[in-house]
Amino acid sequence: MTGAPQQEPENFNPWDNVVGLIEQAGSLLGLNAGLVQRIVKPERILEVAVPVRRDSGDVEMYTGWRIQHDTSRGPGKGGIRFHPSVDVDEIAALSADMSIKTAVVNIPYGGAKGGVRVDPSQLSIGELERLTRRYAFGIAPIIGPDRDIPAPDINTDYRVMSWIMDTLSMIRGYNVGGIVTGKPIAIGGTFGHAGATSLGVTICTEALLKKLGRPLNEQRAVIQGYGKVGAPLVKLFADRGIKVVAIADVQGAIHDPDGIDPVKLAKHFEEARTVVGYPGAIDIPANMLFAMPSEIAVPAALGGVLTEEIAQTLSAKFVIEAANGPTTGEGAAVLKERNVTVVPDVLANAGGVVASYFEWAQDLQGFMWERELFQQRLEKTMRTAFDHVWTRQQQLGVTLRETAIAVGVERIAEATELRGLFP
Asked if 333 contacts 310 with a C-beta cutoff of 8 angstroms, the reply is no
| Of the candidates 368, 405, 403, the residue with the CA atom closest to the CA atom of residue 183 | 368
E strand or H helix at 365, and its extent?
Answer: helix 351-365
CA-to-CA distance for 132 and 163, rounded, in angstroms? Answer: 7
Angle at 405 between CA 403 and CA 406, to 5 degrees: 60
Angle of helix 351-365 versus helix 196-211 axis, rounded to 10: 130
- Strand 341-343 relative to strand 318-320: parallel, antiparallel, unpaired? parallel
Beta bridge partners, 114, equal 66, 80
* Strand order through the sheet with 76-83: 44-53, 59-70, 111-117, 76-83, 148-152
> 1 burial class (0-12, 13-18, 19+ CB within 10 angstroms)?
middle
Which one is catalytic: 101, 113, 228, 235? 113
Q: Annotated catalytic, 113?
A: yes
Query: C-alpha dihedral over 64, 70, 72, 77, to 10 degrees?
Result: -50
CA-to-CA distance for 403 and 381, rounded, in angstroms? Answer: 18
E strand or H helix at 401, and its extent?
Answer: helix 400-419
CA-to-CA distance for 176 and 166, rounded, in angstroms? Answer: 8
Asked if 370 contacts 191 with a C-beta cutoff of 8 angstroms, the reply is yes
Asked if 349 contacts 322 with a C-beta cutoff of 8 angstroms, the reply is yes
Backbone angles phi, psi at 371, to 5 degrees: -60, -40
Around Cβ 118, how many Cβ atoms within 10 Å? 24
Which residues have a catalytic role annotated? 113
